[in-house]
Structure 1
Amino acid sequence: MIKPSLSELEARLDGVQVAADMAASLTLDAFKNAPVAENKGGGSMFDPVTATDRDAEQLIRSFIQKTFGADGIVGEEFADTQGSSGWTWCVDPIDGTRAFVAGVPVWSTLIGIFYDGEPVIGLIDHPAMAERYLGAKGKAWKQEPGGTSALKTRTCARLDDVILSCTEPMAMFDEAQLSAYEKIRQTARFSRLGLDAYSYALTASGSIDLVIEAQLKPYDIAALIPIIEGAGGKITDWQGGRAHDIGKEGGAVVCAGDPDLLDHVYPVLHG
């Protein structure tokens, strides 16, 4: 990996927070006023999107194009923008749109930044809970009204000690994946569902130990990696490969606060 200059990285670390502030001014107001969703999937499963999803992504894109005009952009709601600088921003304006529409505050804005194909900056912003999680330069930290604190995952190398999370197993997994997940769930201490990206923030904080999910896209993953790794954890695909190489469709990931835990997880996932 070619390392970016410190000045370029610092500029984008500042920039990602400006972009998140801009998005939050829009999303938080909409959240408080009963947002209405439409089905963008068109299939039997409701895949919600709101006008705020699109407006927030456009706001972030406009900031990037104005401030870092040579950078690429990959987002959920609009076509990719090719860059020439080696930097690429991955944007999910509202991760957890179902939660957003249902009035559940765990929705977030995700912004991950790649340099030379590697994730180097990550941001998970939870405006409704006034919590922001950041990762860069091998570190991870949380910002909230009370101040800034370093993030550290929990030591947990045994499956029977695990607090497990998955947003929606019945919707995310095919039959074989669901069977593998169930084996881990039945061994785990207990599990929590419906947290969207907040489960990864809680893993970085040392509260949750293991997240197993599928059907993820690059913009769902990019922001998480620098935060999880900066806090001492590891996030991969189900084969132990790079999570950010999952491709556009069907991406299955496993995130462990304690990397040693993965030695017990992979054999179960592989059945």
Structure 2
Amino acid sequence: MNTDFWTSILDFAQTTTQQVGTQLLKDFGHVQASQKADGSLVTQSDKWADQALREAIATHFPEHGILSEEGDQTFPGSEWCWVIDPLDGTTNFTRGIPLWAISLGLLYQGTPVFGCIYLPPLNQVFHGFFPGESQLKMPSGAFLNHSPIHSSNDAPGSNHFFSLCARSTSVIQPGFPCKIRMLGVASYNFLTVAAGTTLGAVEATPKVWDLAGAWVIVKAAGGAWVSLHSQPLFPLLPGKDYGDRSFPTLVVSHAELVPVFRPYMQKIAQ
């Protein structure tokens, strides 16, 4: 793939998420949510954003597959596939808390190589390229509003942060080496590690659409991504339904911190 291809991917992802985000900002704090079978919330805004993103991808990249939270949750096995989270942080969105995101991840042969996550209330766009073992000729790096970002090289301390989800509070134990923050947006938890804001983050029950875009950006920024159970995250498997599959995940800013934080994750890994 040449430079023009990756430029078109980035331009499409940024333009489309910003267009969708403009409408979501109008709905923000003014919609009612219903509860899905897994206990999470969904609104008409989630459903509209999902459809808008799927239609845009089908128009611009008709040969690409799509896997989305509110649509088809089965990996189609196509060489290129977009994984969509149309509104990450629905509870924040419905309660008027200005922290939620739109996430896109582009997979090649089942593994993400590009991610774009837009946070409309903050006017922040994160994107990243990470070729990994794909042997694709492509850019690399992680960016916030087009400025390069890198995870922190610091050692843990009482003035550094670690981010949790609501289901991972078991990590709060005597001697935990950082201050705790809970943001309510899975992708943004991980992005704070990529940006050097936090030294680590854990999510106990994230789905693949919570992870695909952020995975690229964290890896490209120098962070370490750790699966907390034996099942590998990527590559996705053709024909597999990912709707009810969770991927407990620890992310830290550099590999040396894995043994520091991993012992606190034992209850999550069970």
Q: Same fold (TM over 0.5)?
A: yes
Compared with structure 1, are the counterparts of its residues 100 and 187 closer, same or farther at alpha carbon in structure 2 (3 Å cutoff)? same
Match of 1:131 in 2: 124
Question: What are the Cα deviations for residues 41-100 of structure 1, in whole angstroms up to 9, with x where unaligned?
Answer: 2x7x4x211100000010000000111011111100112476675111010000000000
Letter in 1 for 2:22: S
Q: Which has the higher contact order (CA 8 A, sep 6+)?
A: 2
2:35 aligned with 1:39, yes or no? yes
Report SS of the residue matched to 1:187: coil
2:210 aligned with 1:220, yes or no? yes
Q: Distance in 1 between matches of 2:30 and 2:221?
A: 35
Letter in 2 for 1:23: V
Compared with structure 1, are the counterparts of its residues 159 and 116 closer, same or farther at alpha carbon in structure 2 (3 Å cutoff)? farther
Question: What percent of counterpart residues are identical?
Answer: 24
**Which one has a larger percent helix, Structure 1 or Structure 2?**
1
Q: Distance in 2 between matches of 1:29 and 1:87?
A: 32
2:40 aligned with 1:78, yes or no? no
Match of 1:253 in 2: 249
Letter in 2 for 1:249: R
Q: Distance in 1 between matches of 2:5 and 2:231?
A: 28
Letter in 1 for 2:125: R
Compared with structure 1, are the counterparts of its residues 86 and 218 closer, same or farther at alpha carbon in structure 2 (3 Å cutoff)? same
CA contact (8 A) 2:200 2:250 kept: yes
Q: Distance in 1 between matches of 2:257 and 2:74?
A: 38
RMSD: 2.5
Residue range with higher mean Cα deviation, 60-69 or 75-84: 75-84
Compared with structure 1, are the counterparts of its residues 105 and 245 closer, same or farther at alpha carbon in structure 2 (3 Å cutoff)? farther
Match of 1:112 in 2: 105
Question: What are the Cα deviations for residues 184-239 of structure 1, in whole angstroms up to 9, with x where unaligned?
Answer: x7412210013413222221211111101111111000010111111111222125
Match of 1:27 in 2: 24
Compared with structure 1, are the counterparts of its residues 167 and 226 closer, same or farther at alpha carbon in structure 2 (3 Å cutoff)? same
Match of 1:67 in 2: 60
Select 1:164's aligned residue among 159, 162, 165. Answer: 162
2:91 aligned with 1:98, yes or no? yes
Q: Distance in 2 between matches of 1:86 and 1:23?
A: 26
Report SS of the residue matched to 1:55: helix
Letter in 2 for 1:40: K
Report SS of the residue matched to 1:123: strand
Compared with structure 1, are the counterparts of its residues 229 and 84 closer, same or farther at alpha carbon in structure 2 (3 Å cutoff)? closer
| Structure 1 segments of 4+ aligned residues over 6 angstroms from their partners | none
Match of 1:151 in 2: 149
Compared with structure 1, are the counterparts of its residues 119 and 109 closer, same or farther at alpha carbon in structure 2 (3 Å cutoff)? same
Q: Distance in 1 between matches of 2:73 and 2:144?
A: 29
- How many corresponding residue pairs? 251
CA contact (8 A) 2:229 2:247 kept: no
Report SS of the residue matched to 1:250: coil
Q: Distance in 1 between matches of 2:229 and 2:258?
A: 10
Select 1:12's aligned residue among 9, 12, 20. Answer: 9
CA contact (8 A) 2:77 2:110 kept: no
1:189-208 aligned at under 5 Å gives the runs 189-196=178-185, 197-208=187-198
Residue 258 of structure 1: how far off its partner (Å): 1.8
Residue range with higher mean Cα deviation, 75-84 or 188-197: 75-84
Q: Distance in 2 between matches of 1:217 and 1:6?
A: 31
Query: Which TM-score applies when normalising by structure 1?
Result: 0.83
